[in-house]
Amino acid sequence: MGKKLQFTELDQYLFGQGTNYDIYRKLGAHPDTQNRKKGVYFAVWAPNAQAVSVVGEFNEWDTEKNPMKKVGPIGVYETFVPGAKIGQLYKFYITGAHGEELYKADPYANAAEMRPGTASRITDITNYKWKDDTWMKNRENFDPDTSAMSIYEVHPGSWMKHPQTAEDEDGFYSYRELAPKLAQYVKKMGYTHVELMGIAEHPFDGSWGYQVTGYYAPTSRYGTPQDFKYLVDYLHRQKIGIILDWVPAHFPKDAHGLANFDGTAVYEHADPRQGEHPDWGTKIYNYGRPEVKNFLIANALYWVEECHVDGLRVDAVASMLYLDYGKKDGEWIANKYGGNKNLEAIEFFKHLNTVVLGRNHGTVMIAEESTAWPMVTGKAEDDGLGFSLKWNMGWMNDFLEYMKLDPYFRKFNHNKMTFSMTYAYSEKYVLVLSHDEVVHLKCSMLEKMPGELDDKFKNLKAGYTFMFGHPGKKLLFMGQDFGQLREWSEARELDWYLLGEENHQKLQQYVSDLLHIYRKYPALYGADNDPSAFEWINANDGDRSIFSFVRKSPTGRNNILIVCNFTPVARPDYRVGVPKKKQYKLIMDEQGLLPKGKVFKAEKKNCDNREFSFAYPLEAYGVGVFTY
């Protein structure tokens, strides 16, 4: 048999263009048979190295046994090691541009050693037998613009843990153990998608996975790449979508990682004013370099095409778009027009989103972007960035500021809850209450609420009802749906024991009711981007801190009217104006779902500047969800 795997001239050409989208099938470590010998093919890009060899358990880490040969001008080195086996650890030993001796983990490795070890591990990603054909076929027709999306954000290492023992001091659930437990919970609650944090390999638990060293390796904390695929496969068979956090904004300076890879700046900019984040102590990618863009875009495709994930939530987009992000004068370099926009990052996003979404219909690319940058979800050909959705950080900040207030002061801040509707259609949004809001002394969602414990629960229910009625997809971080009391910590599991208490049980059931109503009624999701499908009934009732609005269904059937009272004052004679002289059926109140529902007939009585209205008793912190 002749050579099977090699880095061909075509590979080199495409890599130099930044368009070798399957490059992870060549670079890295891949089991192969060459000249009738079984072994492993290794390839690495180290353009300015003087020499490269591969060291590992197959050669006693001897730097001279397996030198690699440079192929072509682009700086890729390759070799075949007969007898190297799946499961063995390895690194690249690089003699750097200035004679440095560097031991580097494989940037394209598909598995890594469990931290604190830093070596890469040989594995075979081609041998998983998928069983999610139905999901993958249906996914092609998924349209985020008109579909329900309620996302459960999960940090797998702290969602649930085994009791910690001397042998198992982390107590992590494996991907395979997590699969049925997570699927069961998500289905019971009614979420449509899970968003997983910290899946790509990272050295430090406390970074929550936002400082990545192994972009192509599902973290070994919870098992192998096959185990990770099993988790995705299992969720798909339970009709649950899966989104991953993805971090193309920066990378850590760890000695075994991408920084200074061959003794020179390979993945990052050489000038620290372009290549470093002073606040984060991390390196910034050089988005103008084709091979670097290729590394990242192929990585997005690896997760979506090789691992079947349904979308990526792209972290820290703003830090990529602005050259002066988190920097003082003198710490950054302007673009060629003298401005602060990172033109190369803009081009990168357009390229990334066009390729990922163009090749994988029905997947989503979600931007975590915290500024008013225009057209984040606009089409690339119209000079947008091409994302499917954008996190609505403005809504989140205003909503939390309002909810934290003593109810007496809410009347002076009424516009915090209405302002988001002035820009609700400028982008395609996800309303988020994410992990970022319940760490670093920000308090858990329940503890942010004012008043005694009972009041906290009532406030939170009213707040969640408002959120689920507001246009935009939904995201809740784990623990928020049952009223976690403590702030989140990656080091311990959620306080599931709280579900032994009635208040927490009732909140969990209430959120589940909201999730099920949200999915049942297209009025709440089918026209999120259509301004004519939302209408305030009364946006100005600041004195009573009551909000009322309607969401219209794309078909005109089963429209929804929502009323939320954000004070502890009951309004037994509350009257609400309505669009039509119809019957309005109360399907949910502050106690939860009403299986039978209660019908109110609109009468010809002027209210809220409308001809028709009906009266019903609105409780303290009460809500009403009606269909008509």
Q: Rounded CA gap, 87 and 122, in Å? A: 5
CA 176 to chain centre: 21
- Give the 3-state secondary structure of 274-298: HHEECCCCEECECCCCHHHHHHHHH
Q: Rounded CA gap, 210 and 109, in Å? A: 18
Question: In terms of C-beta density within 10 A (0-12 exposed, 13-18 middle, 19 or more buried), how is residue 3 classed?
Answer: exposed
**Of 175, 297, 177, which is closest to residue 242 (Cα–Cα)?**
175
**Of 213, 339, 327, 204, which is closest to residue 277 (Cα–Cα)?**
327
Kindly report the CA angle at 319 between 313 and 321, in degrees rounded to 5?
A: 90
3-class DSSP state of 37: strand
Please check whether residue 627 is in contact with residue 585, taking contact to mean a CB–CB distance below 8 angstroms: yes
What token pair was written down for 207?
């970074």
**Of 390, 400, 394, 391, which is closest to residue 420 (Cα–Cα)?**
394
**Which amino acid is it at 272?**
P
Residues acting as catalytic residues? 315, 368
What token pair was written down for 229?
């695929």
Buried b (16+ CB within 10 A) or exposed e, 357-396: beebebbbbbbbbbeebeebbbebeeebbbbbbbbbbbbb
